[in-house]
Structures are given as structure tokens and as C-alpha cells.
Structure 1
Amino acid sequence: MQSTLTRAHVVARSPCSTRYAPPAATQRRRGVQVSSQSKRHASASAHPDSPPRSFADPSRPDLFYHLLDSHSPDSSTAALRTPLPLPAFALSFLEHAPRTPTSASVVGWLPAVSGAEGDAGLNDFKENPLFRDVMHRAIREGLEQDVDDIQRNAALQLQSGWMHIHDERNIPAMGRVGDPDDIIASVLVEEGKILPDTYQPMPAYRIATADGVLQLTEGLAQKLREVLEAAERG
């Protein structure tokens, strides 16, 4: 079993005093991409005898692609500053399709490309601004409810100081502070206890990077799914 510090690193400093730790070059080969398999799903979905319009990412079974087009329920994207070109994939941690293309449960969108048009990648990803707020609320509530063993044990080891909540897609080396793109938030720890009221989102955090889409520790990931389901129910 991995030690806690390889899963959730801690720092006894101000949450804003982060240093850049260059990730390994091999890690940068991963990323946000609509694969050829995804494109085959999208193409087939245009026909009556097509397979389901929603499917899991082959390398991230907790991440789902939902095909959106002009025939999708409430296909309007007027709520966005820049209208979303359809067809597109809505990325979500929920297995079922969102109620609307701009639901808070949608992490973001990728164009539904096909054939010779090539793969859609990180530069094509459009973040859903509504999702970020829900994500931070879910993490804060998860810390309040003490739902995550990794974060709890990290606080016990730190005892006192600021603890970073790192994205699991790119865990920093032992004793190093992670890439600012991968630090979701920071929270103060006193006497081995997390103080959820001190939760501070990190402005530099990115939902999607070359290392992939948001990946939380198990307890926080489950809490996020619960909050997203509640948001979908309205």
C-alpha cells in the first residue's frame, strides 16, 4: 500500500506560497483527447440503430462522454458567453446525460470531431464555469464531513500548517510542492485537524491539463458525484 505522503502532500506555509515542480516528461504524454474510439461512437450515434450516446472514457472509467447535438433536450447554449458549437461531447463524472448542455454537472465540452478532421485535444476543451463552483463546494463539504481517509491522514502527519489539496492526476514527488495547475485548494490544519472554514480555492488550478481531467482522492470523488447528482435533480 502506498504511504499517505505519496498520495496527499502537505506544506506548512501560506497557501499562496507555491513553487513550481516540473513534472516528469513522460507524464505530459497523457491528456484530454477525444479518441478515435470516441469518434466512432459519435458517428454511429447519428444513425437509428446506433449504440448509446453516452460512454465511459477507456482510460478513465469514472469519466463519461455524452454526445450533444441539436436534437438533445434543451440544446440551447445561450447561457454561455460564447455559444457552444454542436455537436459536442459533454464531459461528466455522472453516467447519465446532463439535463441540459450547460448543466453544472458538466465538467466541460469537447467538439465531436470525426474522420479526417483529427482528434480533439486539450486546446479544444472548454471549461464549464458552473462546474468549478460545485467542485469547490463538494470538496469543502467533504472535508467538513471527514469523508476522505487520505486527507485525514495527511492532516494528522502535518499536525499544523497549510495543507494543499492536490489533483491526483499529477502527484508531486515526496517533499515537493506540486504544479500550481494541480493544486485545487489549501486548508489550514491545527493539532492534526482540518479546519474546513479556512478552505481557499487556488486561482491557478486548471480543471484539465496535459495530464488529464480532474481526479480526486476516493472519498472526495464520491462526495463530488453526490453533489453533482443533487445539482442535476435541481
Structure 2
Amino acid sequence: MQIISATTKFGLALRWRPPSRTLIIPPLYRPRPILYVPSRRRFNSTSDSESSPSFTDPNRPDLHYHLVNPPTPLSKDAPAFALSFVVESPSRSTVLGWLPAATTGNDHEAGLNDFVENPEFRTLLHQAIQDGLREKVDDVQIGGAIQLGNGWMHIHDERNVPALGRIGDPDDIIATVLVEDGEIRAETYQAMPSYRICTSDGPTQLTPGLAQKLKTMLHGQGRAKSERG
């Protein structure tokens, strides 16, 4: 590296060296899943809405949007999108919630603040998670219990996992369960009332084993509805 020396009229020696190359490490960026808001569409007739009744979220392959004709839980006159983890047309209890669909004469774009939760889905969600913990279907939760050893363990939503040793946001803590000697006591499962099905980070996202358990239960609900006619 070249060093240039110079002497001022006061006899002071000055030295200049070119700045060395410094590796700049950008701050850690962790992309978070967000709720995909369907593009604006105009629905003027039943035939138009039936031409594309459902589609998959491009950011969440497990999440599907189903067009529901009015009346809906949101409006007597306007269609809505029912969000579900089920590909087929879902029964009401398997719907996470609803987003308004664009309608003629309405310039409002549907967004996160327009999401309306389905209370029936919350009941199924907690049942699936508790059953999954009892059946030991999820390696992530099993590993967390082993690491904890003894105490209460939070079941966090995967859409916003807290840093190691930190407590997650109340909106993202699905439930809490007692762990004894590294074993989850599923009978102590306590649902957290502060948990939200959908936040700015997106809708519910479970660890793989619990997600599969929930999906199986939702499909079972759909089959039961079909058999009842």
C-alpha cells in the first residue's frame, strides 16, 4: 500500500494512506411472509365469479383463496374471499377468515385491516395443536421441550419466531403448555386469548408436524360435511 509523506511549512510531517477496503456486512434481513391481498377485480355476475372461484397464494402455497358469492359474513350484497388451508371449496369451520372482494362501484382496495377472523376456525386450530402435541407429531415442539426440561413452553406462530431466549409478541403466541422432564403435558394446554389469526406478518403458520395435523383435521371436517349432505 502506497504511503505519501509531506512536510508543512511548520515542519509537521503529514502522512496519507489510501483507505483500505472494508467488508461491509449488511444487517440481518429475515423476510417475513405477509398476507397476499388479491388483485382488484370486478364481479358483475355469477358466471364471472365462477370462472375463477379459487387460487393459491403466491407467497404461501398452503394458503388458498375461495371466492364466495353474497351473502357472506362480510356483506349481504358483495362477494368475499374465504381464506383456507383446504384446496377444495371449504366448509365454514375450515375458513380462517374473509377478505372483501372488489365490486363494481367500490374503489376501496382490500387490505390486512379488512380481514375478518372466523371464530370457528380458532376452535379447530387449538384442537389440532393440542391433539398434535399429545400424539407427538411435531419434532420442533418435541425438541423445544427437551431443551427446556421443565417449565411452561410457548407454542409460537412461525410467521414471527422470537429470538432465542426471548418471549414472542402476544399476537403470535398461540398457546402455552407445561413441560416436565422434557415431556410435553398436552392436557395442560392453554390457548392464549391474545393470539391473532392474521397479523401484518400474515395468517397462521405452524411448524411442519402441527401444520400437517391441522390440515388433516380440516379435510376431515370437509368430508364430514359432504357426508351429511
Same fold (TM over 0.5): yes
Please name the residue that 1:95 is paired with.
Answer: 87
- Secondary structure of 2:186's counterpart equals strand
Please name the residue that 2:15 is paired with.
Answer: none
Q: Is the 8 A contact 1:85 1:111 kept in 2?
A: no
Equivalent-residue separation in structure 2 for 1:45 and 1:167 (angstroms): 39
Gaps of 5+ in 1: 1-23, 71-75
Q: Work out the number of aligned pairs and report it.
A: 196
Equivalent-residue separation in structure 2 for 1:85 and 1:206 (angstroms): 27
Output aligned runs, 1:182-221, within 5 Å: 182-221=172-211
Please name the residue that 2:214 is paired with.
Answer: 224
Is 1:32 paired with 2:29? no
Structure-2 change in CA distance of 1:27 and 1:208 (3 Å): farther
State the AA in 1 paired with 2:179.
V
- The structure whose Rg is larger is 2
**TM-score normalised according to structure 2 size:** 0.76
Equivalent-residue separation in structure 1 for 2:160 and 2:49 (angstroms): 40
Please name the residue that 1:119 is paired with.
Answer: 109
Gaps of 5+ in 2: 1-26, 225-229
RMSD: 2.8
Please name the residue that 1:10 is paired with.
Answer: none
**TM-score normalised according to structure 1 size:** 0.75
Q: Is the 8 A contact 1:33 1:119 kept in 2?
A: no
RCO higher in structure (CA 8 A, sep ≥6): 1
Structure-2 change in CA distance of 1:61 and 1:43 (3 Å): farther
Please name the residue that 2:69 is paired with.
Answer: 69
Output aligned runs, 1:137-216, within 5 Å: 137-216=127-206
Please name the residue that 2:99 is paired with.
Answer: 110
State the AA in 1 paired with 2:155.
I
